[in-house]
Structures are given as structure tokens and as C-alpha cells.
Chains A and B, each alone.
Chain A
Amino acid sequence: MTEGEPLFRLDWVLQHLDMLWQRIGEHILVTVIAVAAGFVISFGLALAVRRYPFIYGPILAISGILYAIPSIALFVLFIPITGLSLLTAEIALVSYTLVILVRNMVTGLRGVPPEVIEAARGMGYTDRQRLWRVELPIAMPIIVAGLRIATVTTIGLVTIATLIGMGGLGYLIVNIGVQRRFPTATITGVVIVVLLSTAVDLGLQLLQRRLTPWARAHEA
């Protein structure tokens, strides 16, 4: 910290609103790409597990190992291949979402009561109709719960992506705040990350309630 520099300068924040919005925008974009890609890949894997249950063990093992690799290491590992690019950041971010999303999707699909599946078969749903109209809606609360955790985790991790030049709120926290010893930027960045995580978490929770009114009746 520079001598005489106060911990927090509101005037700086107010003067740099445009830049803050830009960083927030970058942050959200990187997050959305990661979560969306992770969701699509996980969904494919979960459907594969639904059909071939024996592949679940290996999938969990691999995604678990990916999850255990520190994010910086993963970035560094891919820089020689994909450079300091968005792709490098996304490869790391997506691989972290897999373990959470796949596990919740499979748990959700496996949680559909067997008598419900038997009734659906006996009434003449095709396999695809049963998946989309019965199993996925019933698994929805658990799938969205996984999506919430994955999204909040990713919002946090995107902060680190600034190290490979991805900007976002990490730029405020690390590049401006830490490297230039300007605590106002760090505090502002951290507060925005926390607010963003909370807002997104709350939004997804509301979305889930809206989508699954029957689950609320069950809680009551």
C-alpha cells in the first residue's frame, strides 16, 4: 500500500463506473460461456450414463481428477497449446464445472422413483418422451441445484483468469489492486464478485421455484 493511501476511495469508484461495468460484462461473459459449455457437455455425459450406467465410475474419476488440479496449474498447462486466450481460460473453467454438473444430473435422473418410470413405460411413452417429459422435469430441482453451485464456483474462478489476460473483475482485484498497491480496487472487485455470486444464486433459485411448483407443494 502506498504511503498515505486510504483503504477505500469512493470517489475513485464513482469516477470509474464505465470501466467497472466493462469488467463486470467481461466477467459475466466468461462465466456464462464456461457454465453453458459445461452444462452441454455434462448433459451429454449424463445421458450417456443413463444409457450405459457402467461409464459413470470412470467419468466421475476423470472429472474428479480435473477438479483437483489447481486452476493456475491448469492454465499454465494449456498455455503452450492454446496460448493466452479465452480458450485456455474456458478449458480450465469448463473442466471444473463437470464434476458438479454431471454428478447432480445423474443423481437427479436416478432419483426418479422406479414406479414413476414403470408407469410411464406402461402408458406408452417412448424412451425420448419419457426422458423429456417425465425424468428431466422430476430431476430438475437437483439439476438446478448443481447449476447454482457450478455457476457460483465459476464466478469465483474467473477472477483468476486475469492472470492469463482475460480481464474481468480479477483485473480490478489483482492487476490494479494488488500489483499497483491500490486497495480500493481490490475491495471494489471483491464486493462486486460477492454481490454477483449472490444475485445469480438467488436468481437461479427463483427460477427453479418457478419451474417446479410441484416441488414446493411437496415441501409444505
Chain B
Amino acid sequence: MTSSAAVVTLDHVSKRYGPAGTPPAVSDLSLTIPAGEIVVLVGPSGCGKTTTMKMINRLIEPTTGRITIDGEDVMRLPAVELRRRIGYVIQQVGLFPHLTVAENVAVVPRLLRWPETRVRDRVEELLDLVRLDPATYRDRYPSALSGGERQRVGVARALAADPPLMLMDEPFGAVDPILRDRLQNEFLRLQAQVRKTIVFVTHDVDEAIKMADRIAILQRGGILAQYDTPDAILAEPASEFVSRFVGADRGLKRLSLGRVRDLALTSPTTARVGEARADVRRRLDEAGAEYALLLDESDKPIGWIERRDLSGDDGVTPDDATPGSPTLQPESTLRDALSAMLGSSVQLGVVVDEAERVLGVVSVDAISEVLRAPAATVR
């Protein structure tokens, strides 16, 4: 799909709802939102995050300051023209109940007077993109859709005219946690394809960490507390407020950003079923290790064997191994890896590939090493 992404800048933007002298909702906010990134505005209620977002498409107009999209001042354009160029997704979705799924998706292209054949093709393309079978869903009314399907249609509708910028106001806030997780993953996959500039509002720190390329943390009165990558914010909160807002478990949250594949794996001492115990003992001595990893014929891990269980001269049997050592995939988050390892007797995680063959092991130490490393500035 062809698409471009826009750079958005906020230049000393303030919004005051009351007369001069009343406390502002947004105070002197300056931000640059790079093209093709997801920037999450997050903060407690009353921090002005939604106000900030709505000033970009002029649903709310700033009191002072300047907002530009690709260098163009948003106040220069007629508001409706501006909005047709910006995708907009809200928490309650707001599908038009009297229009079918296809007609909902076609709203902005029709406002822009696209030829009908182009509109139809675009609707099909978008329904495919959000994984709703066009033949099944095209002619349904929103009342016949589930919450997750409605949200997908909402995203397709926002993408319809291929806008370089999307605004999303708590888009996954009204669905249950399991569905939210799935929609988030789907959206990230979609974004990897379309590469739009996205301004995403949420009050949920975990969602912000998961979705963001950059996070802008706002505090009451619309004051920017910190603007950086999730990793940098978790590693070095800029203030007491940010530190409290991201939570005492920010170390663990940081781990959820890393993947097992990012770690250097070590090769364990291995043993095979049927091999002489003396040979395994010798290898353990050479490596100075206490445990050997028992593998079956196809290199799949069976479990760990402790040195003191290797007396005698018989062959090694699967019963010698302590089962239940966690296996991890390269895609597992470090947070999940740590959690699995802490729950097992041998605090090593066995990393396996898709065929369950052993790639190596990781230790708890290797993970805590990550937390001591300085933050990456770009994820």
C-alpha cells in the first residue's frame, strides 16, 4: 500500500477554556511528532491529553501557539478539509448505525468525491487489511457486529482516505483486557504495514509502553513531564511525578520491552538419552557446571540433570532429568522469561526454535544485566 506519513509539530501551544487568568488545560506545550511513529500522549485525567490531540484536527482550537502538519499551519485550512485528511478513531468507535460496514468505511472517500469504483476497491482493500472478510461483513449494519469487529471497522474507516496522520483517542479503552491485547497486537502489525504518523491517547501506562515509539507524559494542566522512548522513560524517569506515574515496577515494565532474542545465549552442557553417565560427569567437570541439559534424539530438551544424580556407570535415562524447566521462544518478552525462570527449580531458561530444538540458555543474571544497561534512545 502506498502511503505517506506527516510530521506534526506543536509550538508553544496553550489552551485555556475559561477567561484569561483561569488555569489552562494545556500549558505552553511544544512537541515534534516524527513521521511514521506512534506517539502516545499519556497522563492522569485532567492532564490535557485529549485536549492536545483534538487541537491537532481543530475539534478544539488552541488559545495560543501554533500547530503544523508537514509545515502547514492547521489554522490556515478550513476545518472540515483538514479533518478529512486526518484519520480519527475514538473509544466508543462512533460507527454510523444507519450505514452498512462498507458505507461507514466509505464516508471520507465519498466526502472527498472519489469515483465510485475507486471507493469500492478501497473498501475491499481496507476490510482485508483489518481482517474482516468483505463478502461477510460488507453489507452488515454496526448493530450486528461484536465490539472487536466494530473497533476494526472504526480503524478501517479512519484509514480509508489514506491519511498521513491518525488521531486515536483511547481506541481500545472500551473492550475487555483479552480483546484489547489482541486489538493492540493487530494494530501494531497493521502499523508496520502502513507506517502512518499516529497520535494515540491513553491513560493506561502499560498500553502506552506497548504501543509507543515515543511517549509524552503530561501532568495536570497540560504540562509536558517527559517526552522520550518508552525504554528511556522507564530507565530514567525525568521527575518524581513520572517515576510515580509509570509505577514502582518500572524495571519489570522495561523488561516487557526486551525480547529473549536480544540476549546473548550461552551453550549449556548437554547429555543425550543412552549416553554413559561417566562421560556426562567428565564434561560437567570440564565446564565447571552442576547441571547438564538432557536432550532426546531430535535435540528436544527433556530436562536438567544434577551432577549428584549421575553416579554409577549406566546409560542416562529420561527419568534422571528433573522436568519442568521452562522453555522460551526468541520472541518471548524478557518479563515473561524472568517470570517463568523464577518459577522453576533451575533458574535457567532453555531457548528453543520453532521445531523445539535447543538454541541456548539464558540466566536470570543475563536479564538483570539488561536493566543495568543504559537506555536505548531509539527502540
Contact = CB atoms under 8 A, between A and B. Distances in A.
Interface of A: 113, 115-126, 129, 134, 137-138, 140, 212-215, 217-218
B53 to A, nearest CB: 10
B107 interface: yes
B141 A123 contact: no
Interface of B: 57, 59, 80-85, 88, 90-100, 107-108, 111, 141-144, 157, 167
A115 B108 contact: no
A217 B143 contact: yes
A203 to B, nearest CB: 22
Contacts, number: 74
Name the 5 nearest CB pairs between A and B, nearest first: A119-B94, A124-B84, A115-B92, A122-B88, A124-B83
Given A124-B80, A217-B143, A212 B95 contact: no
Contacts of A123: 83-84, 88, 107-108, 111, 157
Contact of B97 (A125, A126, A129, A218): A218
A177 B167 CA distance: 71
6 contacts: A113-B92, A113-B97, A120-B94, A121-B59, A124-B108, A125-B80
B337 to A, nearest CB: 40
B111 A218 contact: no
B95 A122 contact: no
Contacts of A217: 141, 143-144
Which of B91, B92, B97 has the most CB atoms of chain A within a 10 A radius of its CB? B97
B98 A214 contact: yes
Contacts of B92: 113, 115
A214 B100 CA distance: 8
Could you say which of A119, A140, A213, A214 has the most chain B C-beta atoms within 10 Å of its C-beta? A119
B83 A122 contact: yes
Nearest to B111: A124
A124 B94 contact: no
Nearest to A121: B59
A1 B88 CA distance: 74
B90 A119 contact: yes
A122 B111 contact: no
A118 B92 CA distance: 10
B98 A119 contact: no
B106 to A, nearest CB: 11
B197 to A, nearest CB: 16
Nearest to B79: A124
Contacts of B81: 124
A219 to B, nearest CB: 9
Given A113-B92, A115-B93, A119-B90, A218 B141 contact: yes
Contacts of B143: 214, 217-218
A134 B100 CA distance: 13
A137 B107 contact: no
A115 B94 contact: yes
A119 B83 contact: no
B108 A118 contact: no
A122 B59 contact: yes
B93 A214 contact: no
Chain B CB within 10 A, most for which of A122, A126, A129, A218: A122
Nearest to B174: A115
Contacts of A116: 94-97
Contacts of B98: 134, 137-138, 140, 212, 214-215
B166 to A, nearest CB: 11
A94 B144 CA distance: 40
A118 B94 contact: yes
Contacts of B100: 214
Contact of B95 (A119, A140, A213, A215): A119
Contacts of B96: 116, 119-120, 134, 138
Name the residue among A113, A121, A123, A125 with the largest chain B CB count within 10 angstroms.
A123
B274 to A, nearest CB: 66
A113 B94 contact: yes
Contacts of B94: 113, 115-120
Contacts of B88: 119, 122-123
Contacts of A138: 96-98
Contacts of B84: 123-124
A66 B99 CA distance: 38
A138 B99 CA distance: 10
Given A120-B94, A121-B59, 10 more contacts: A115-B90, A115-B91, A117-B94, A118-B94, A122-B59, A122-B83, A123-B107, A124-B81, A214-B97, A214-B98
Contacts of A214: 97-100, 141-143
A3 to B, nearest CB: 63
